[in-house]
């Protein structure tokens, strides 16, 4: 029971100190989340209230089912962009169908996450390699910033890839609204200054610690207040500045995702990608924060928590959500101790939804776009290209391809191409493993590469150390390698495979070993194994391989060489 | 030059003995190939002469470019079935477009093989695991036999999967032609007897060795002669027995594959699968035969040889070809020494095409179907299911799924599903590697699993041996594993990763190690590595990981434990 309801664990020891800390954290996070939620809804192509709704019930459900103490669940930038891309391909933005498709996407994503969690399939997320994630996040950051440029300029533009967005922006460049531009550029500049220059200033003024942090995080709120007052005061909306307008004063509504088979099949892949990317983002944040307090995150239970949160979003007018980096870090920094802080945040946002929404009437969309641009540009980090290049060309290829394809063809194609490429390159490398021919280091029991060390060899014995598990992708490679080696030297009588680095032998490799043994026998050569690991030996003993093996299995390479050299000498005499 | 033209290698030392041996082999192989070529053309849905044509120029080209001394290239059962399935989905059988599509398929397959060979991409064939190939061949054998039942019964039927074939046969069961049935069943029974019972009989009669072999292989020729004479003598064609009819008396014609983009895109995947499966079949046979004489096969040059053969087939009225098992083994057994034997076989078949084709006029299709059924049923081998089950459940799953999907959905889907599943299962296994916590075997420098052996441990030090390369698919697994381990024991001060089985660390794993190190540091725990392999260490040294590592890299596990125990004691004092 406790496994599926972590709330039973932390709820039992909840006390007044924790309550106070959680309440303080909730107030601060609520203030930060209001503009953020509106902005991400805008990014997803949804009405602003959808962002608020997506931040209420999902947080509550996560606090019941999630295992992280500090994770704040709600709309995040990358998932909002993916939502816009997924639905934009199927339904036109601004229609009733668009919001309904967002509910369905959240519902499908929720069911997928829940299913993966219940089936304990969280490991599937591992197939997103770090280079692919890094490349994807960087390229997404650029795309997200570009989608907001239209709001900063006050023009119309569409598209989910770099060429489409640039083309669309270029076509409408003549329609720039100068007042919107001034507000947008002003807000963006102000927010960049808050991020970079405010903290040093506060420090010089003697304001440090948590207060300085809160003031810095409140930058977007200040931008919202100032630009809203400016717009309202000078009636800028009548001069072409796009504003948020009417936001309903209401509790999150009860909504039902439309069950439309055609739509479900079109949204299947996007929902899967959103689920997996959302999960990876969320679990990375959760693990980082948990490690600081020696707490533990259960990845499969996290899937259940995020699944519940998304299903909650689907039934309360939201859209796909996940654990966000920025909001979680703030939540942690300002002292949240348990998921109850999330629940209190939900209460704060509910109050905002019921009481504060009229205040956003004159809020310019350009201000929200500025908060998004400033937030996502911190995601853009090309240094991964340099780091990956220095470490391994294969990882570099994975980053570069993911960035390029994401920019050129959009988020779904980009991340799929990255995953396919990184799996392909991994298989490629393991299909051509490093094979060292080894000989004895004189006077020792060590055996090292004959090309790197000065070692003793017997010309009738070849010892090969394969630095990889033997499986179908490299089974034939090993065959080719051995045949080539023995064809070049007719004096060879023994081939020894040193298996210290062989962690597994699958059925294909077993059949290859049988074929190698049979063919070597035809040439009058014996095949031996040495230093076979326990689990590998267990499996070999289940097959008939060892019964037919022309040579022997030696416990150590030293014993193998000693025995074979003795038998060679005996034969010569 | 010699690399791309192996003929320059063996041609230089060609002498009279080799010539005599090659000529004898060619005569025998030619006799065996005539009915086989007609039969496989029938299986592919093509006119019978296509089988003869596909056996002439391709053999000649292979003898120039191929590296195997004994491989006989031409139409084979599985590739003929795949050709029928590929073209049958696109063009109606019996139309002019059908034969043209077969030329295009051979041309595309030839270009693909040539391209793979020139780019040295032969390793791609390795992704067909042995279980997938075995399952695919068995299921194909069943499908091929079923496609021939209509000829044995004298009815009409179509389909490329088990349900389609059975349904179609069932629907026409009322139209059985009794004379065709008698001929078909008679020929099938006779050929089975030749295969199983003739050799023992010959042995009892004192006929042994090569003569007995030749008589056994001549069974299909005898069946062809007898049933042709019966049909001609009793005018059985007028009583509903389907016969081969007019076969043009001609040299292989000059043909051009149609360059039709729509057709090319539809045939792309089938051509790729035919290329890879044909290559795998061919290289297996070639390596088996080469090993017996300590000769060497170059897989990339084999691709070039097969590519040239298929391009040759495309321009001379043929269809996709590859190195066949049965014909190559016969060629080898009867003494072929060089590819010249293949060239002489081509001459023999050319004579047949020009002079003997009228003799096939009354040859019943049922006889050819019988030769196919008897040949392919020897491919069907369900014992692979039992063997794979005993060795590993993952390999069993790959066989079972390949057999099932091939039977139910056809050859292309079947082999694709098998490949995808075997790659998926491999990744799954390496994503959850075996991790052993090890301790010192008392009085030694050996470290073994604490759960299997009675070992000494220091409660402040945890040593984990990961039996797998560290890469993106298991990087997060390792993080989870380590966090779970240290969260359970607050006394831990050191974590040592014993890397003796780690053959590679990719960029994702490197970042995971950095994250692990940082989080363990937050908990006051140091991370150490021991027994890191040379190539892995080279890569780590290129990164900044070692600069920031909280602990040390030890040459051996023994040194690690000794040093950490000393430092612990010093701290305690």
CA gap B343, B362 in Å, rounded: 29
Residue A228 has pLDDT above 80, yes or no: yes
Instruction: Name the pLDDT band for B2 (thresholds 50, 70, 90).
Output: low
Taking contacts as CB-CB distances below 8 angstroms, the residues of chain B near A479 are: 287
CA gap B141, B143 in Å, rounded: 5
pLDDT at A298: 82
- Reported as a single tens digit per residue, the pLDDT across B156-207 is 888 888 999 999 999 998 889 999 999 999 999 999 998 888 888 888 888 8
- Reported as a single tens digit per residue, the pLDDT across B416-475 is 898 889 888 888 888 888 898 988 888 777 788 888 788 888 889 999 998 889 998 888
CB distance B506–A477 less than 8 Å?
no
3-state helix, strand, coil in chain B (%, to 5): 65, 5, 25
Q: Which of A134, A447, A503 to mutate to test the interface with B (most CBs of B within 10 A)?
A: A503
The CA distance from A299 to the nearest CA of chain B, in Å, is 8
The CA distance from B289 to the nearest CA of chain A, in Å, is 9
CB distance A523–B294 less than 8 Å?
yes
Tell me the pLDDT of chain B averaged across its residues. Answer: 88
Residue B154, classified by CB atoms within 10 Å of its CB into exposed (0-12), middle (13-18) or buried (19+), is buried
- Reported as a single tens digit per residue, the pLDDT across B109-133 is 999 999 999 988 877 777 888 888 8
Poorest-confidence range of A243-257, A477-491, B112-126, B284-298? B284-298
Give the nearest partner residue to A483 out of B291, B471, B523, using CB atoms: B291
Give me the residue label for tokens 């369905």. A104
Percent pLDDT > 90 in chain B is 38
Distances (CA, A) of A159 to A42, A85, A91, B169: 15, 8, 13, 54
In 3D space, the residue among A19, A66, A59 whose CA is nearest the CA of residue A343 turns out to be A59
Cβ of A441: how many Cβ atoms within 10 Å? 14
Quick check: B98 and B332 in contact, CB under 8 A? no
Per DSSP, what are the bridge partners of residue A437?
A464
CB distance B294–A490 less than 8 Å?
yes
CA gap B86, B415 in Å, rounded: 13
Residue A82 has pLDDT above 80, yes or no: yes
Q: Classify A335 in phi/psi space as left (phi over 0), alpha (psi -120 to 50) or beta.
A: left
Cβ of A459: how many Cβ atoms within 10 Å? 9
ipTM of the complex: 0.76
3-state helix, strand, coil in chain A (%, to 5): 65, 5, 25
Six-digit token string for A129: 């390699």
Taking contacts as CB-CB distances below 8 angstroms, the residues of chain A near B514 are: none
CA gap B226, B218 in Å, rounded: 12
Cβ of A20: how many Cβ atoms within 10 Å? 12
Quick check: B273 and B113 in contact, CB under 8 A? no
Cα radius of gyration (chain B): 31
pTM: 0.78
Per DSSP, what are the bridge partners of residue A438?
A449
Please name the helix (run of DSSP H) or strand (run of DSSP E) that holds residue A438, with its range, or none.
strand A435-440
Distances (CA, A) of B58 to B106, B467, B532: 11, 48, 52
Residue A288 has pLDDT above 80, yes or no: no
- Reported as a single tens digit per residue, the pLDDT across B54-91 is 999 999 999 889 888 888 899 999 999 999 999 988 88
CB distance B429–A504 less than 8 Å?
yes
Please name the helix (run of DSSP H) or strand (run of DSSP E) that holds residue A165, with its range, or none.
helix A162-171
Residue B519 has pLDDT above 90, yes or no: no
CB distance B123–A477 less than 8 Å?
yes
pLDDT at B272: 92
Cα radius of gyration (chain A): 31
- Reported as a single tens digit per residue, the pLDDT across B377-408 is 888 889 989 988 988 888 999 999 999 999 99
Q: Which of B124, B128, B291 to mutate to test the interface with A (most CBs of A within 10 A)?
A: B291
Quick check: A237 and A231 in contact, CB under 8 A? yes
- The set of residues, in sequence order, having a beta carbon less than 8 Å from that of A16 and lying 6+ positions away, is none
- Reported as a single tens digit per residue, the pLDDT across B322-359 is 998 778 887 887 778 888 888 899 999 999 889 888 88
The secondary structure of residue A54, as a DSSP letter, is: T
Quick check: B139 and B402 in contact, CB under 8 A? yes
Residue B1 has pLDDT above 70, yes or no: no
The secondary structure of residue A160, as a DSSP letter, is: S
CB distance B519–A292 less than 8 Å?
yes
In 3D space, the residue among A1, A60, A12 whose CA is nearest the CA of residue A340 turns out to be A60
In 3D space, the residue among A34, A51, A33 whose CA is nearest the CA of residue A42 turns out to be A51
Which is higher by pLDDT, A512 or B107? B107
pLDDT at A360: 87
pLDDT at B385: 92
The CA distance from A550 to the nearest CA of chain B, in Å, is 16
- Closest CA in chain B for residue A472: B129
Residue A477 has pLDDT above 90, yes or no: no
The DSSP bridge pattern shows strands A435-440 and B526-530 to be: unpaired
Taking contacts as CB-CB distances below 8 angstroms, the residues of chain B near A511 are: 130
Report, as an integer, the average pLDDT of B284-313: 85
CA gap B304, B3 in Å, rounded: 11
Give me the residue label for tokens 């809203």. A228
Distances (CA, A) of B398 to A117, B128, B129, B132, B404: 25, 11, 9, 6, 10
CA gap B346, B57 in Å, rounded: 7
Give me the residue label for tokens 């477009």. B97
The secondary structure of residue A364, as a DSSP letter, is: B
Give the nearest partner residue to A479 out of B128, B287, B474, using CB atoms: B287
Domains in chain A (CATH in brackets) are 15-125+171-379 (no CATH), 435-572 (3.30.750.24)
What are the residue ranges of helices labelled H in A205-260? 209-217, 219-234
Buried b (16+ CB within 10 A) or exposed e, A368-391: bbbbbbbbbbebeeeebbebbeeb
Residue A104 has pLDDT above 90, yes or no: yes
CB distance A126–B291 less than 8 Å?
no
Give the nearest partner residue to B477 out of A123, A130, A471, using CB atoms: A123
Residue A2 has pLDDT above 70, yes or no: no
CB distance A507–B131 less than 8 Å?
yes
Taking contacts as CB-CB distances below 8 angstroms, the residues of chain A near B542 are: 390-391
């Amino acid at each position: 029971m406790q496994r599926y309801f972590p709330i039973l664990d932390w709820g039992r020891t909840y006390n007044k100190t924790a309550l106070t800390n959680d309440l303080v954290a909730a107030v601060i996070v609520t203030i930060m989340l209001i503009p953020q939620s509106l902005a991400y809804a805008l990014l997803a192509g949804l009405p602003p209230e959808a962002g608020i709704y997506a931040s209420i019930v999902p947080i509550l459900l996560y606090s019941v089912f999630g295992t992280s103490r500090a994770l704040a669940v709600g709309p995040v930038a990358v998932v909002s962009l993916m939502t816009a891309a997924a639905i934009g391909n199927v339904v036109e933005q601004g229609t009733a169908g668009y919001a309904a498709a967002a509910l369905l996407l959240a519902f499908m994503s929720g069911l997928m996450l829940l299913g993966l969690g219940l089936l304990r399939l969280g490991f599937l997320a591992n197939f997103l390699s770090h280079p692919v994630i890094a490349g994807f996040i960087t390229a997404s950051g650029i795309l997200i910033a570009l989608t907001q440029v239209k709001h900063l300029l006050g023009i119309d533009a569409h598209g989910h890839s770099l060429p489409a967005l640039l083309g669309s922006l270029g076509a409408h460049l003549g329609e720039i609204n100068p007042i919107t531009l001034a507000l947008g550029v002003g807000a963006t500049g102000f927010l960049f200054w808050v991020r970079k220059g405010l903290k040093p200033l506060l420090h010089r003024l003697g304001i440090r610690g948590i207060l300085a942090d809160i003031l810095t995080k409140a930058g977007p709120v200040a931008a919202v207040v100032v630009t809203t007052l400016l717009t309202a005061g000078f009636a800028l909306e009548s001069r072409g500045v796009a504003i948020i307008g009417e936001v309903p004063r209401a509790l999150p509504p009860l909504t039902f995702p439309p069950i439309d088979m055609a739509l479900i099949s079109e949204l299947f892949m996007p929902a899967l990608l959103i689920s997996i990317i959302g999960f990876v983002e969320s679990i990375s944040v959760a693990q980082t924060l948990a490690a600081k307090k020696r707490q533990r995150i259960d990845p499969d239970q996290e899937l259940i928590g995020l699944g519940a949160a998304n299903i909650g979003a689907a039934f309360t007018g939201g859209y796909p959500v996940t654990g966000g980096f920025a909001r979680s870090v703030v939540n942690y920094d300002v002292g949240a101790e348990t998921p109850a802080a999330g629940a209190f945040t939900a209460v704060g946002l509910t109050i905002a939804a019921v009481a504060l929404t009229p205040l956003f009437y004159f809020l310019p969309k350009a201000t929200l776009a500025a908060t998004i641009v400033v937030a996502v540009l911190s995601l853009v980090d090309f240094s991964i290209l340099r780091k990956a290049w220095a470490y391994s060309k294969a990882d570099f290829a994975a980053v570069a391809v993911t960035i390029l394809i994401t920019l050129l063809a959009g988020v779904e194609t980009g991340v799929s191409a990255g995953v396919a490429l990184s799996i392909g390159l991994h298989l490629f490398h393991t299909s051509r493993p490093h094979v060292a021919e080894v000989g004895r280091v004189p006077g020792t029991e060590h055996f090292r590469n004959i090309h790197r060390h000065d070692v003793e060899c017997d010309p009738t014995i070849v010892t090969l150390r394969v630095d990889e598990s033997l499986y179908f992708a490299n089974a034939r490679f090993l065959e080719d390698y051995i045949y080539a080696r023995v064809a070049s030297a007719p004096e060879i009588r023994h081939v020894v495979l040193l298996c210290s680095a062989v962690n597994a032998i699958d059925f294909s490799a077993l059949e290859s070993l049988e074929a190698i043994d049979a063919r070597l026998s035809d040439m009058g050569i014996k095949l031996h194994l040495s230093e076979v690991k326990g689990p590998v030996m267990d499996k070999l003993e289940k097959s008939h391989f060892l019964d037919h093996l022309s040579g022997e299995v030696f416990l150590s390479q030293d014993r193998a060489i000693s025995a074979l050299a003795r038998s060679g000498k005996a034969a010569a005499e």
